[in-house]
Every structure is written in C-alpha cells, then in structure tokens.
Amino acid sequence: MGAPILSCVSKGIPGIFMDCHMMVAQPEKWVDDIADAGGALYCFHLEATTDPLPLIDAIHARKMKAGVAISPDTPSTAITDEVAESADMLLVMTVYPEFTIRSNASASAGRGGQKFLERCVPKVSELRARFPNKDIEVDGGVGPKTIDVCADAGSNVIVAGTAIFGASEPENVIALLKAKVEIAQAKIAAQRS
Ligand SMILES: O=C(CO)[C@@H](O)[C@H](O)COP(=O)(O)O
C-alpha cells in the first residue's frame, strides 16, 4: 500500500491515525510522500538505514511520529538508547517482514498469515525494561492465541491482520486484544510502583 492509497484513506476518513510501517529499502526516500499523504507515524526498519537519527529528525520535521522496527534476527540491543529515546515507538517484528509462506507451500510477499515467532518476545521484555514509557508494538501472527505473551512482555501497540480480517466477529477480536493489553499494562504499572 503506497502513498496514493493513504491519500484516499485520509480523505475518506479525516483524522484517521495512519501508522505506516515502511518495509522498504532507503526509508529516507519516502518521508515526504507519506507525510503529504496524511501519514501520522512513519516506522522504518533499523536494518534499512545506516543513519537512523537524522531519519527520525526528518520524520519529526514533517510532523509525524517516528517508529523504529527490528526484524526477527536483529537483537534489541541494536536499538541504542539514543535512537530509542528519539523515536516515539519501537516495533518488534514477530514474523519476517514482507514474506508469507502459505499452507500450500507457495510464497507471496507482503501478506499476513505467517506463524508467530515466540522467540522474538524476549526482545519486547528487554525493550520494556529499558524504556518503561515507550510505545512498543508487535507485528506478525498476533491474535487471541498469542496476545498474552506479547502483552505480558510489555507490548502496548498490537498489529493483527489475519486474526481480525479472518474472524467472523472482528470486533470481538479487537476488543479481546485491547482488553489483554490494558490488563497487562495495569499489572506492569503496579509492579513498577
Ligand atoms: O506485513 C506483515 C509481514 O510482512 C505484517 O504486518 C503482517 O501482515 C501481519 O499480518 P498477520 O501476521 O497478523 O496476519
């Protein structure tokens, strides 16, 4: 989904918060297009840039929030304190970005439905311990069966594709995911105080 689609969405739903996860090489190139199209948060992959701090500044200069994503094989320590403190959100991918293996063994890019990688969850706990007040997002294979570990690890922003769009009652799934996060966040806050 590119900037033209985002423009249509922002015109159709004024004020919508569009969290734009940019699974692209050279994320520096698209900041202006996404800002012009109404993007509210521009999340880039740490692996895709050599210079995250100026990129975060460029995103902020266009009045968007900045997110920093890490792929399954990138450790949480790759996000330095300086980068995390400049960013508004950290995204721990719990699937490999841009690649889906379907049940019939064919593969296609940029779609949901991959298996949740539980081995990525400790990275959420590590980041939550380092950054108690930062938004920490998880993306990939998250749904009713996998939300507990994500929420308990400290994730407070949830991306769910298949779990919602494949549900007969999507609103119930959304409500469940939100409730789990709220309960876990309250528990984490109580443990801190
Ligand atoms: O784009 C990606 C991965 O390439 C993710 O955002 C997934 O699309 C999330 O979908 P589900 O795993 O929840 O179905």
What is the side-by-side order of every strand in the sheet holding 157-159? 19-22, 41-45, 65-70, 89-93, 135-139, 157-159
In this predicted model, what pLDDT tens digit does every residue of 60-76 receive, in sequence order? 999 999 999 999 999 99
Q: Is the pLDDT confidence value at 21 over 80?
A: yes
Domain 3-192 has CATH 3.20.20.70: yes
Q: What is the domain partition of the chain in residue ranges? A: 3-192
Q: Please return the burial class of 120, using the count of CB atoms within 10 Å of its CB with bins 0-12, 13-18 and 19+.
A: buried
Q: Is the pLDDT confidence value at 184 over 80?
A: yes
Q: Is the pLDDT confidence value at 102 over 90?
A: no
Q: How large is the average pLDDT for residues 118-127?
A: 98
Please indicate whether residue 101, judged by its CB atom, sits closer than 6 Å to ligand 1: no
Q: Is the pLDDT confidence value at 99 over 80?
A: no
So what's the pLDDT on residue 111? 65
**ipTM associated with this complex:** 0.93
- Phi first, then psi, for residue 186 (nearest 5°) are -65, -40
Please indicate whether residue 177, judged by its CB atom, sits closer than 6 Å to ligand 1: no
Taking the alpha carbons at both ends of the chain, their separation in whole angstroms is 42
Gap between the Cα atoms of 81 and 85, Å rounded? 6
So what's the pLDDT on residue 110? 57
Nearest Cα neighbor of 138 from 151, 129, 186 is 151
Gap between the Cα atoms of 132 and 17, Å rounded? 23
Nearest atom of ligand 1 to the alpha carbon of 141: 12
Please indicate whether residue 140, judged by its CB atom, sits closer than 6 Å to ligand 1: yes
Please indicate whether residue 139, judged by its CB atom, sits closer than 6 Å to ligand 1: yes
In this predicted model, what pLDDT tens digit does every residue of 126-178 receive, in sequence order? 999 999 999 999 999 999 999 999 999 999 999 999 999 999 999 999 999 99
Gap between the Cα atoms of 141 and 166, Å rounded? 12
Strands (E) in 88-140, as ranges, are 89-93, 100-101, 107-108, 135-139
Name residue, tokens 């012009």.
36
Provide the pLDDT confidence category of residue 1 given band limits of 50, 70 and 90: confident
Name residue, tokens 């948060």.
41
Neighbours of 3 (CB within 10 A): 17
